[in-house]
């Protein structure tokens, strides 16, 4: 392979391209990002690492359309879907078509399942109510997804009857049933007991192997190293280091900032 650290091979289709992204919260003194750019090829996994407060969640939320941007562009499949405007700082979901919204699936640190619905009900709710898909077809797909995350036998359990790791796997199914082009995972194992981390990460590895394009924020460095096609280190509102060779990033970081960051996990 002749691929160099920062450039995408010409035959690689780009799923997501972020250009000169600027983000400012209305009540803050400084920009979270002052112009960051990167791209994610189709079927690849970009892992975003960085210290707490560096803007990892904000980055995922702007891409998912949960927060407006104040500069730069976000393009999906070569089509610009959002252009930042200065002054456009009011927090909250940006206007996107229903079709565009479902292109992004997001899973957060804390599983926000509906407590009074069972597993199947949680997974099928959006496709039934929002997409108006047929019930038997949606339930069949939900059961297939549950099979994929090794939870086929818990379809009728309520969230409180599940472990944290099981709930996160349900949350993954709930995102996947909308067939997102890009799955955004924000520290999805951070709130889990250590013994449950593995069962969730294993599912994410299976998704990567199946060709799901993903942006993953994680503090699990061995997982990051195993799953990343590309890595970005975010710090102080900038991309301090980037690599399309994850192994290289974790074993031979080029910048002092990256060395420092990785050492904090030793
Ligand atoms: P990370 O996920 O890397 O810990 P965040 O994206 O949560 O970082 O936060 C980046 C910066 O933006 C922090 O300084 C944080 O305090 C600030 N921030 C995050 N969310 C908001 C918000 N809703 N309003 C104002 N400031 C915020
Ligand atoms: Mg965060």
Helix (H) or strand (E) holding 155, with range, is none
Answer whether 67's CB lies under 8 Å from 94's CB: yes
pLDDT tens per residue, range 142-197: 999 999 999 999 999 999 999 999 999 999 999 999 999 999 999 999 999 999 99
- Are 186 and 57 in contact by the 8 Å Cβ rule? The answer is yes
- Establish whether residue 53 lines the binding site of ligand 1, counting it when its CB lies within 6 angstroms of any ligand atom: yes
Local confidence band at 9 (pLDDT 50, 70, 90 cut-offs): low
Query: What are the structure tokens assigned to 39, written together?
Result: 């791209």
Band of residue 3 on the pLDDT scale cut at 50, 70, 90: very low
Which one of 28, 36, 63, 90 would you pick to mutate in the ligand 1 pocket, going by the greatest count of ligand atoms within 8 A of its CB?
28
- Written as six digits, the tokens of 77 are 């499949």
List, for residues 235-263, the tens digit of each pLDDT value: 988 999 999 999 999 999 999 999 999 99
Question: What are residue 203's phi and psi, to 5 degrees?
Answer: -65, -40
Predicted pLDDT of residue 5: 42
Nearest to 86 by CA among 39, 18, 31, 36: 31
Question: Does the pLDDT value for residue 10 go beyond 70?
Answer: no
> Could you tell me the two tokens for 10?
């010409």
What pLDDT score was predicted for residue 11? 62
Pocket of ligand 1 contains residue 255 by CB under 6 Å = no
Q: Whose CA is nearest to atom 21 of ligand 1?
A: 25
pLDDT at 12 over 90: no
User: ipTM for the complex?
Assistant: 0.99
CB < 8 Å & 24+ apart, contacts of 138-142: 138/177, 141/177, 142/173, 142/177
């Amino acid at each position: 392979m002749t691929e160099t650290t920062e450039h995408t091979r010409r035959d690689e289709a780009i799923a997501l391209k972020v250009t000169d992204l600027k983000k400012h919260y209305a009540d803050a003194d400084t920009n979270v990002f002052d112009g960051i750019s990167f791209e994610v090829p189709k079927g690849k996994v970009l892992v975003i690492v960085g210290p707490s407060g560096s803007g990892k969640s904000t980055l995922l939320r702007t891409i998912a359309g949960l927060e407006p941007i104040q500069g730069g562009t976000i393009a999906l499949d070569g089509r610009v879907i959002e252009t930042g405007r200065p002054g456009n700082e009011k927090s909250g979901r940006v206007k996107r078509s229903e079709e565009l919204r479902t292109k992004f699936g997001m899973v957060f640190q804390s599983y926000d399942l509906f407590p009074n619905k069972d597993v199947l009900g949680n997974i099928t709710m959006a496709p039934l109510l929002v997409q108006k898909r047929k019930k038997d077809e949606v339930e069949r797909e939900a059961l297939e997804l549950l099979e994929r995350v090794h939870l086929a036998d818990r379809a009728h359990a309520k969230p409180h009857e599940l472990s944290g790791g099981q709930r996160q796997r349900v949350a993954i199914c709930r995102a996947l049933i909308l067939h997102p082009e890009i799955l955004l995972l924000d520290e999805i194992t951070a709130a889990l007991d250590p013994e449950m981390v593995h069962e969730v990460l294993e599912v994410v590895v299976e998704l990567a192997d199946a060709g799901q394009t993903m942006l993953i924020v994680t503090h699990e460095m061995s997982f990051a190293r195993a799953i990343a096609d590309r890595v970005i280190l975010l710090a102080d509102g900038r991309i301090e280091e980037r690599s399309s060779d994850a192994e290289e990033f974790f074993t031979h970081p080029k910048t002092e900032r990256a060395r420092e960051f990785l050492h904090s996990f030793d």
